[in-house]
């Protein structure tokens, strides 16, 4: 790669005022550093992010907790009355916890169940599909960057567009039925079938996001030294064993990142599905985020307190999940270092 | 599994086609159709008239039915290819259709009415691009204004994201201090909390800060992304501490270390975060829709939602504008693409 | 450091954007079709005639009007004027134009019939006027009926007769479905009322579902089960989301489609010459042959900074000739008594089906039942609609038994009434 391409030169020209700005910023910061010492600078670096984060992420979470203790349909806290744990009680009023229909808030528990199965299946499949694609892209391919772009491209689309495209394909008068019709197969209403709709939400979300995970895994594969494989081949090691003993362990850090990111995305699933199925048929693709959004914000039966209580419960589960993952990750890290 | 490792082990100098090669190409070509096909179809559909959009069976290319002006009729008549009783086919113009029977005339000899069963006629159609789907919104839609707002939000949010996230990541990866694990824990714990879940309180915060109907109300809540901190920190951990220690020996200030040493070394990861941030902010829909309700503040995504009415949605405009809004993101991707693989490679490797 | 400049920037941007000029009037407007363009035209003309007032038309998605506007209003934000459908629910936020308009009597005379729909119970306030009156009603694909050799049921035909006739057409023409009705509580309410349902209890609060309501819902669920009624739209969303079934009708896949007057313009452009269609009015039930009235209103908002200018704008748009022109160009039924009584609306379409359909709607409005006329002005209508749609949708998707759905509907409504603290 040529080191001084035109863009680079243009870049350095643009950077000149930025460098100047940074130098100016350095003057007061040096003074601060003198006062606080090197260790104290950590706080300075952390401050802007934590300030914004505190106001726009943490504070809402705290306020949400307060909301969850209030009742009424008013939107602003000042006009809401304190009801204690009533909203939580309402969420947990069930005669049988395994049957969402026996609960007072049946939609909530249906959404919990749907989200659970969605996350489990989607993440598993997603990793499988991404890994296969990455392995294929890691072969000696002509025009590899083209193929990489093909699989990555849906990542660039907005979730709303993704939902729309697939709705047009899957609806009764859509492209899929048209294709089947050419082969003499009767049109089928995919989006009114509970099972197919659930599968569709999984498939579409994989379609939309797999490119990112494929790239992360591909990067990992390419970083594995080739001579390891050559040595293994020389020893006559079986391919399956090579994959288990060399590829997988060396890919582990990338796999961890993929699992973390895929889980986050899967749990947050909302826009695509909202456009694609609207949560239907019935409530078969109603996921937690949509339930919370609709209850809190959109529905004609708006109840911000209930939505807040649901989101607090969801948040608790998520935090536990994240911590477990990090625990696993950290253990792996330590093992790697030893 | 065996298949997988075969792929990796496969060397240049092709022998005969191994079955894994077949799998590879089936996968790639299948991928090409599944990944690209829908988008291509979307692009073609954006040139269809509203009537053609609603039609079944749908067509790939935008078609319109051909019409012809026939002597003795005020309006242009629709042309059909009709099967005649003697088995031949002939292009006829339809005068009207009553029940199962269409009354048709030969455009060249309009005197005589021919009766044709409607099952025996197919419309004559030609490919035609309904470019008014694009031009109409451009005139009634303050496109440049929305574009500017979108660009402003995307660029500002991305810059702030890069700066504050990288500063935080620097602190979290290169300093030992009390509360570090706590800060890290809080950030990571919120990794999974989606914006839609905290929308109600966030709205009241924005509203009480006076950021409602203000582009900053869209920008600020999105910039302190835990994901960004996470990605950058992972990458910065790979930068050897020796470099930083050496700089400190040379009396470099901490800010200089951050700016001169750490940031340049983190460039690939920053590029990745930049791409994501651009894509996310450009495509943001729900939150801007809630915060911005004044025309002069609309971003493109909000702007094109005005074609969704209570009772009807004007799909043809939505599709066309969707295609237009996709272009800038694709351009950014093409320009930054070379960083993606290298950047991502680093974030995963510790 | 960074934060400081950031905050400064934010503060600056804030100053710039909140500096509303005197004489600015913002209208929040949503469009189903061409009415946004027509309105833009009219706003331009208004500003030429009233140079001191700057009207800004904010076109928004309907979801903004439905979901975000209520929240904005509660915070004391929001536009100065808005085109809204939940006019009763939000009526405490509307501005009383009575002392502000030029001629209150003109408003009472011409818009008095719907004034109650948009003001708090018991007040005499003038909040605005209906930009359009809608009435639910059916459309039949006449060509399909002809092809099947089935005569169109007459004007007094019942829902059963329409279902039977459509089923014959469906079987003979191999259609996927015979009939469809929009996924909307408002639409479904029309046949419910025709079956004698009454949502309003003695105390003005929602009553539990009565026999009439249950009768029709049972029939409806049965019809969907046997494939007479289209299931697609009803199961294609969760919750109370609205879905129209117009697409299937446009594609000639339905014999009968129950929607409303607002579809006329849409059907005209999209069906073109593909088949003959007629508006049928609302089929009958044992109790009535009623459709559901409704519509959207242009209302002034209490939090407007320049109420005088707002009133000037409202006065201008409420003029008889403006209302007339607006209706003619949008193919909307006007809500202005003078315009209706004088007749002679020259709808700007050369489509014979559309003209016939609009005439039919004017005629059908005469059989609208008293209960139906009261519902748009009833505070709990939307609550009842939402509960019915949600639970009936679930029933059709096979998640609920019908009896459970009835119980759930009553429980949902009761809970909502309790939540509201009234």
Check CB contact under 8 Å for A301 and C71: no
At C229 the three-state DSSP class reads strand
Count of CA atoms in the C-beta half-sphere (13 A) of B293: 28
Query: In this structure, is residue A74 part of a structural domain?
Result: no
What residue in A sits closest to B227 (Cα-Cα)?
A261
Query: In this structure, is residue B253 part of a structural domain?
Result: yes
Q: What pLDDT, on the 0 to 100 scale, is given for residue C15?
A: 42
Do B72 and B38 fall into the same domain? no
Among residues 255-274 of chain C, which lie with CB inside 8 Å of chain B?
260, 262-263, 266, 269-273
Do B151 and B300 fall into the same domain? yes
Count of CA atoms in the C-beta half-sphere (13 A) of C290: 25
Query: In this structure, is residue B57 part of a structural domain?
Result: no
The CA distance from C57 to the nearest CA of chain B, in Å, is: 7
Count of CA atoms in the C-beta half-sphere (13 A) of B266: 27
State the best of A282, A286, A303, A305 to mutate against chain C, taking most chain C CBs within 10 Å: A282
User: Is the CB of B301 inside 8 Å of chain A's CB atoms?
Assistant: yes
DSSP structural state of residue B32: I
The CA distance from C227 to the nearest CA of chain A, in Å, is: 13
Q: With helix as H, strand as E and coil as C, how does chain A read?
A: CCCCCHHHHHHHHHHHHHHHHHHHHHHHHHHHHHHHHHHHHHHHHHHHHHHHHHHHHHHHHHHHHHHCCEECCCCCHHHCEECCCHHHHHHHCECCCCCHHHECCHHHHHHHHHHHHHHHHHHHHHHHHHHHHHHHHCCCCCCHHHHHHHHHHHHHCCHHHHHHHHHHHHCCCCHHHHHHHHCCCCCCCHHHCHHHHHHHHHHHHHHHHHHHHHHHHHHHHHHCCHHHHHHHHHCCCCHHHHHHHHHHHHHHHHHHHHHHHHHHHHHCCCHHHHHHCCCCCCCCCCCHHHHHHHHHHHCCCCCHHHHHHHHHHHHHHHHHHHHHHHHHHHHHHHHHHC
Q: Which of C266, C215, C269, C219 is nearest to C245 (CA)?
A: C266
> Residue C302 in contact with residue C126, Cβ under 8 Å?
no
Check CB contact under 8 Å for B99 and C6: no
The CA distance from C174 to the nearest CA of chain B, in Å, is: 14
Query: In this structure, is residue A270 part of a structural domain?
Result: yes
Domain count, chain B: 3
pTM of the model: 0.83
Section B176-205 average pLDDT: 81
Q: Could you give the ipTM of this predicted complex?
A: 0.79
Do A121 and A24 fall into the same domain? no
A205: pLDDT strictly greater than 60: yes
Do A135 and A270 fall into the same domain? yes
Query: Which neighbouring-strand residues pair with C191?
Result: none
Do A132 and A261 fall into the same domain? yes
Q: What pLDDT, on the 0 to 100 scale, is given for residue C286?
A: 93
The CA distance from A229 to the nearest CA of chain B, in Å, is: 7
Do A48 and A180 fall into the same domain? no
A133: pLDDT strictly greater than 90: yes
- Express as a percent the part of chain C with pLDDT over 90: 46
> Residue A290 in contact with residue A273, Cβ under 8 Å?
yes
Do A51 and A137 fall into the same domain? no
Query: In this structure, is residue B109 part of a structural domain?
Result: yes
Which residues on chain B are in Cβ contact (under 8 Å) with C60?
Answer: 293, 305-306
**pLDDT tens-digit readout, A257-306:** 788 788 878 888 888 888 888 887 888 899 998 898 888 877 666 788 89
Report the residue from A53, A215, A242 with minimal CB separation from B9: A242
Query: In this structure, is residue A72 part of a structural domain?
Result: no
The CA distance from C387 to the nearest CA of chain A, in Å, is: 8
Q: Which domains does chain C have, with CATH numbers?
A: 22-133+294-352 (3.40.190.10), 135-293+365-420 (3.40.190.10)
Query: In this structure, is residue A167 part of a structural domain?
Result: yes
Do B245 and B264 fall into the same domain? yes
Q: How confident is the model at residue C11 (pLDDT cuts 50, 70, 90)?
A: very low
> Residue A131 in contact with residue B7, Cβ under 8 Å?
no
Query: In this structure, is residue B51 part of a structural domain?
Result: no
B66: pLDDT strictly greater than 90: no
C22: pLDDT strictly greater than 70: no
Do A242 and A160 fall into the same domain? yes
Do A30 and A148 fall into the same domain? no
C292: pLDDT strictly greater than 90: yes
Do A27 and A114 fall into the same domain? no
Among residues 28-87 of chain C, which lie with CB inside 8 Å of chain B?
28, 30-33, 36-37, 40, 56-66, 68-69, 71-72, 75, 77-79, 85
Which residues on chain B are in Cβ contact (under 8 Å) with C331?
Answer: none
Do B108 and B138 fall into the same domain? no
Q: What pLDDT, on the 0 to 100 scale, is given for residue A12?
A: 72
DSSP structural state of residue C283: P
- Measured CA to CA, the distance from residue A267 to residue A116 in angstroms comes to 8
C376: pLDDT strictly greater than 60: yes
Do B256 and B340 fall into the same domain? yes
User: Is the CB of C399 inside 8 Å of chain A's CB atoms?
Assistant: yes
Greatest CA separation found in chain A? Answer: 80
> Residue C253 in contact with residue C176, Cβ under 8 Å?
yes
The CA distance from C397 to the nearest CA of chain A, in Å, is: 5
Rg (CA), chain A: 26
Q: What pLDDT, on the 0 to 100 scale, is given for residue B57?
A: 66
B72: pLDDT strictly greater than 90: no
Check CB contact under 8 Å for C239 and A101: no
Span of A216-230, C162-176, C185-199, C382-396 with lowest mean pLDDT: A216-230
Give me the CATH number covering residue A103. 1.10.3720.10
- Express as a percent the part of chain A with pLDDT over 70: 93
Section C287-314 average pLDDT: 92
Do A178 and A210 fall into the same domain? yes
Number of CB atoms found within 10 A of residue A195's CB: 9
Between B313 and C234, where is the model more confident?
A: C234
Q: What pLDDT, on the 0 to 100 scale, is given for residue B9?
A: 45
Which residues on chain A are in Cβ contact (under 8 Å) with B185?
Answer: 323
The CA distance from B341 to the nearest CA of chain C, in Å, is: 31
Query: Which neighbouring-strand residues pair with B116?
Result: B102
B344: pLDDT strictly greater than 70: no
Section B63-71 average pLDDT: 74
User: Is the CB of B287 inside 8 Å of chain A's CB atoms?
Assistant: no
At C139 the three-state DSSP class reads strand
Between A112 and A1, where is the model more confident?
A: A112
Q: Which of C417, C20, C421, C419 is nearest to C208 (CA)?
A: C417
**pLDDT tens-digit readout, C153-207:** 988 899 999 999 999 999 988 888 899 999 999 999 999 999 999 999 988 899 9
- Express as a percent the part of chain A with pLDDT over 90: 16
> Residue B105 in contact with residue B112, Cβ under 8 Å?
yes
Q: What pLDDT, on the 0 to 100 scale, is given for residue B342?
A: 61
Check CB contact under 8 Å for C18 and B210: yes
Query: In this structure, is residue B167 part of a structural domain?
Result: yes
At C285 the three-state DSSP class reads coil
Q: What pLDDT, on the 0 to 100 scale, is given for residue C316?
A: 95
**pLDDT tens-digit readout, B43-53:** 888 888 877 77
Do A112 and A36 fall into the same domain? no
Q: Which chains touch B (3 or more CB pairs under 8 A)?
A: A, C
Report the residue from C176, C240, C393 with minimal CB separation from A299: C240
Do A44 and A92 fall into the same domain? no
**What stretches of C142-292 adopt beta strand conformation (E)?**
179-181, 256-260, 277-281
Check CB contact under 8 Å for B201 and A60: yes
Domain count, chain A: 2
Query: In this structure, is residue A220 part of a structural domain?
Result: yes
Q: How confident is the model at residue B350 (pLDDT cuts 50, 70, 90)?
A: very low
* Domain boundary, last residue among B127, B145, B166: B127
User: Is the CB of B183 inside 8 Å of chain A's CB atoms?
Assistant: yes
Report the residue from C61, C77, C147 with minimal CB separation from B100: C147
- Express as a percent the part of chain C with pLDDT over 70: 95
* Domain boundary, last residue among A32, A67, A102: A67
Give me the CATH number covering residue B205. 1.10.3720.10
Residue A22 lies in domain: 6-67
B32: pLDDT strictly greater than 50: yes
Residue C413, φ and ψ in degrees, nearest 5: -65, -45
Do B140 and B166 fall into the same domain? yes
Query: In this structure, is residue B272 part of a structural domain?
Result: yes
Section A202-209 average pLDDT: 94
A337: pLDDT strictly greater than 50: no
Q: What pLDDT, on the 0 to 100 scale, is given for residue B1?
A: 44
Q: How many CB pairs under 8 A join B and C?
A: 122
Query: In this structure, is residue A117 part of a structural domain?
Result: yes
Q: What pLDDT, on the 0 to 100 scale, is given for residue B5?
A: 47
Do B138 and B258 fall into the same domain? yes
C44: pLDDT strictly greater than 90: yes
Do B215 and B262 fall into the same domain? yes
CB under 8 Å to C420, separation ≥6 — which residues?
A72, A73
Section B297-306 average pLDDT: 82
Q: Which of C2, C55, C128, C18 is nearest to C309 (CA)?
A: C55
A229: pLDDT strictly greater than 70: yes
Q: What pLDDT, on the 0 to 100 scale, is given for residue A1?
A: 41
Query: In this structure, is residue A147 part of a structural domain?
Result: yes
Do A14 and A112 fall into the same domain? no
Which residues on chain B are in Cβ contact (under 8 Å) with C132?
Answer: none
Q: What pLDDT, on the 0 to 100 scale, is given for residue C405?
A: 93
CB under 8 Å to C141, separation ≥6 — which residues?
C249, C252, C254, C255, C256, C257, C275, C276, C277
Do B85 and B150 fall into the same domain? no
- Express as a percent the part of chain B with pLDDT over 70: 85
* Domain boundary, last residue among B127, B161, B182: B127
Report the residue from C40, C58, C75 with minimal CB separation from B207: C75
Query: In this structure, is residue B116 part of a structural domain?
Result: yes
Check CB contact under 8 Å for B310 and C296: yes
Q: How confident is the model at residue C403 (pLDDT cuts 50, 70, 90)?
A: very high
CB under 8 Å to B283, separation ≥6 — which residues?
A157, A158, A159, A160, A161, B301, B329
**pLDDT tens-digit readout, A49-95:** 999 999 998 899 899 899 899 887 777 777 788 888 888 988 888 88
* Domain boundary, last residue among A67, A97, A113: A67
Check CB contact under 8 Å for C399 and A283: yes
A333: pLDDT strictly greater than 60: no
**pLDDT tens-digit readout, C202-227:** 888 999 999 999 999 999 999 998 88
Query: In this structure, is residue B73 part of a structural domain?
Result: yes
- Measured CA to CA, the distance from residue A27 to residue C318 in angstroms comes to 64
Residue B33 lies in domain: 2-7+14-45
Check CB contact under 8 Å for B214 and C14: yes
- Measured CA to CA, the distance from residue C77 to residue C303 in angstroms comes to 7
Between B100 and B42, where is the model more confident?
A: B42
Q: How confident is the model at residue B54 (pLDDT cuts 50, 70, 90)?
A: low
Do B296 and B215 fall into the same domain? yes
Report the residue from A56, A136, A293 with minimal CB separation from B24: A136
**pLDDT tens-digit readout, C320-359:** 999 999 998 888 888 888 888 887 778 887 788 888 898 8
Do B159 and B268 fall into the same domain? yes
Between C115 and B82, where is the model more confident?
A: C115
Which residues on chain B are in Cβ contact (under 8 Å) with C250?
Answer: 51, 54
Which residues on chain A are in Cβ contact (under 8 Å) with B348?
Answer: 216, 219-220, 253-254, 256-258
* Domain boundary, last residue among B127, B160, B183: B127
> Residue A49 in contact with residue B168, Cβ under 8 Å?
yes
- Cβ neighbourhood burial of B251 (10 Å; 0-12, 13-18, 19+): exposed
For helices A159-170 and B267-283, the axis angle rounded to 10 degrees is 60
Between B165 and B177, where is the model more confident?
A: B165
Do B158 and B280 fall into the same domain? yes
Which residues on chain A are in Cβ contact (under 8 Å) with C63?
Answer: 298
Q: How confident is the model at residue A106 (pLDDT cuts 50, 70, 90)?
A: confident
């Amino acid at each position: 790669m040529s080191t001084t391409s035109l863009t680079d030169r243009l870049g350095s020209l643009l950077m000149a005022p930025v460098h100047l700005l940074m130098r100016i910023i350095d003057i007061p910061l040096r003074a601060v550093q003198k006062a606080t010492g090197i260790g104290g600078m950590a706080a300075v670096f952390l401050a802007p992010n934590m300030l914004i984060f505190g106001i726009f992420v943490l504070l809402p979470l705290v306020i949400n907790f307060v909301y969850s203790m209030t009742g009424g349909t008013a939107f602003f806290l000042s006009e809401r009355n304190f009801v204690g744990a009533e909203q939580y009680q309402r969420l947990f009023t069930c005669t049988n916890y395994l049957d969402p229909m026996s609960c007072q808030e049946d939609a909530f528990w249906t959404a919990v169940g749907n989200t659970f199965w969605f996350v489990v299946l989607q993440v598993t499949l997603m990793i499988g599909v991404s890994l296969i694609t990455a392995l294929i892209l890691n072969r000696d391919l002509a025009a590899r960057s083209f193929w990489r772009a093909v699989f990555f491209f849906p990542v660039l689309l907005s979730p709303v567009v993704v939902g729309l495209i697939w709705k047009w394909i899957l609806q009764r008068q859509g492209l899929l039925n048209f294709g089947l019709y050419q082969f003499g197969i009767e049109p089928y209403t995919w989006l009114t079938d509970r099972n197919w709709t659930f599968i569709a939400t999984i498939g579409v979300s994989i379609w939309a996001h797999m490119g990112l995970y494929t790239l992360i895994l591909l990067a990992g594969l390419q970083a594995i030294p080739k001579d390891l494989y050559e040595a293994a081949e020389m020893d006559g090691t079986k391919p399956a064993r090579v994959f288990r003993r060399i590829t997988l362990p060396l890919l582990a850090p990338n796999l961890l990142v993929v699992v973390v990111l895929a889980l986050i995305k899967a749990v947050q699933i909302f826009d695509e599905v909202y456009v694609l199925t609207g949560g239907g048929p019935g409530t078969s693709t109603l996921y937690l985020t949509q339930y919370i959004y609709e209850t809190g914000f959109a529905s004609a039966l708006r109840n911000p307190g209930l939505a807040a209580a649901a989101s607090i419960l969801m948040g608790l589960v998520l935090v536990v999940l994240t911590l477990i993952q990090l625990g696993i990750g950290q253990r792996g890290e330590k093992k790697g270092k030893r | 599994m065996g298949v997988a490792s075969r792929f990796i082990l496969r060397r240049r100098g092709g022998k005969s086609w191994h079955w894994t090669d077949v799998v590879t190409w089936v996968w790639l070509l299948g991928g090409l159709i599944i990944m690209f096909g829908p988008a291509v179809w979307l692009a073609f559909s954006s040139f269809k008239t509203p009537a053609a959009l609603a039609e079944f069976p749908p067509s790939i290319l935008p078609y319109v039915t051909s019409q012809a002006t026939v002597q003795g009729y005020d309006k242009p008549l629709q042309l059909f290819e009709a099967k005649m009783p003697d088995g031949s086919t002939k292009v006829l113009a339809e005068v009207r259709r009553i029940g199962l029977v269409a009354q048709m005339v030969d455009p060249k000899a309009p005197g005589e009415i021919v009766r044709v069963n409607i099952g025996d006629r197919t419309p004559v159609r030609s490919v035609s691009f309904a470019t008014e789907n694009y031009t109409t919104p451009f005139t009634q839609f303050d496109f440049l204004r929305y574009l500017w707002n979108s660009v402003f939000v995307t660029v500002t949010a991305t810059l702030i994201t890069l700066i504050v996230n990288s500063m935080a990541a620097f602190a979290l990866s290169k300093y030992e201090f009390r509360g570090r694990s706590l800060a890290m824990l809080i950030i990571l714990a919120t990794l999974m909390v989606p914006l839609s879940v905290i929308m109600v309180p966030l709205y009241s915060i924005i509203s009480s800060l006076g950021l409602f109907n203000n582009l900053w109300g869209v920008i600020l809540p999105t910039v302190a992304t835990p994901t960004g901190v996470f990605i950058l920190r992972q990458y910065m951990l790979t930068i050897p501490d020796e470099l930083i220690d050496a700089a400190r020996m040379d009396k470099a200030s901490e800010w200089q270390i951050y700016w001169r040493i750490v940031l340049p070394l983190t460039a690939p990861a920053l590029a990745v975060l930049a791409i994501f941030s651009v894509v996310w902010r450009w495509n943001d829909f729900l939150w801007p829709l809630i915060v911005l309700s004044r025309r002069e503040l609309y971003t493109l995504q909000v702007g094109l939602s005005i074609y969704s009415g209570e009772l009807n949605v004007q799909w043809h405009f939505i599709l066309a504008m969707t295609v237009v809004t996709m272009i800038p993101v694709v351009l950014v991707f093409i320009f930054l693409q070379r960083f993606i693989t290298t950047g991502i490679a680093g974030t995963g490797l510790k | 450091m960074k934060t400081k400049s950031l905050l400064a920037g934010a503060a600056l941007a804030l100053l710039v954007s909140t500096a509303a000029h005197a004489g600015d009037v913002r209208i929040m407007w949503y469009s189903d079709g061409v009415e946004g363009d027509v309105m833009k035209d009219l706003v331009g003309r208004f500003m030429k005639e009233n140079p001191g007032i700057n009207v800004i038309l904010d076109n928004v998605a309907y979801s903004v009007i439905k979901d975000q506007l209520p929240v904005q209003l509660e915070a004391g934000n929001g536009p100065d004027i808005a085109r809204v459908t939940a006019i009763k629910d939000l009526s405490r936020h509307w501005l009383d134009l009575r002392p502000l308009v030029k001629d209150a009597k003109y408003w009472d005379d011409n818009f008095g019939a719907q004034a109650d729909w948009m003001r708090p119970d018991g007040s005499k306030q003038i909040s605005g006027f209906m930009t359009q009156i809608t009435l639910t009603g059916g459309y039949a694909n006449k060509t399909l009926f002809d092809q099947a050799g089935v005569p169109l049921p007459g004007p007094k035909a019942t829902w059963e007769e329409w279902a039977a006739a459509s089923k014959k057409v469906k079987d003979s023409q191999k259609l996927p479905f015979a009939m469809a009705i929009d996924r909307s509580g408002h639409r479904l309410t029309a046949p419910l009322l025709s079956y004698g349902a009454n949502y309003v209890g003695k105390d003005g609060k929602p009553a539990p579902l009565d026999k009439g309501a249950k009768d029709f819902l049972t029939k409806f669920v049965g019809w969907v089960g046997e494939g007479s009624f289209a299931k697609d739209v009803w199961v294609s969303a969760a919750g109370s989301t609205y879905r129209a079934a117009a697409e299937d009708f446009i594609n000639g896949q339905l014999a009968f489609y129950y929607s409303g007057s607002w579809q006329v313009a849409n059907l005209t452009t999209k069906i073109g010459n593909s088949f003959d269609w007629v508006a049928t009015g609302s089929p009958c039930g044992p109790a009535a042959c009623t459709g559901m009235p409704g519509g959207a209103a242009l209302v002034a908002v209490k939090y407007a900074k320049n109420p005088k200018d707002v009133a000037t704008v409202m006065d201008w748009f409420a003029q008889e000739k403006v209302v007339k022109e607006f209706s003619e160009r949008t193919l909307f039924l006007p809500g202005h008594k003078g315009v209706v009584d004088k007749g002679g609306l020259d709808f700007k379409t050369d489509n014979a089906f559309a003209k016939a359909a609009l005439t039919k709607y004017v005629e059908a409005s005469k059989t609208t039942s008293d209960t139906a006329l009261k519902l748009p002005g009833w505070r709990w209508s939307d609550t009842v609609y939402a509960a019915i749609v949600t639970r009936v949708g679930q029933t059709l998707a096979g998640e609920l038994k019908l009896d459970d759905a009835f119980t759930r509907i009553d429980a949902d409504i009761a809970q909502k009434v309790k939540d509201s603290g009234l």
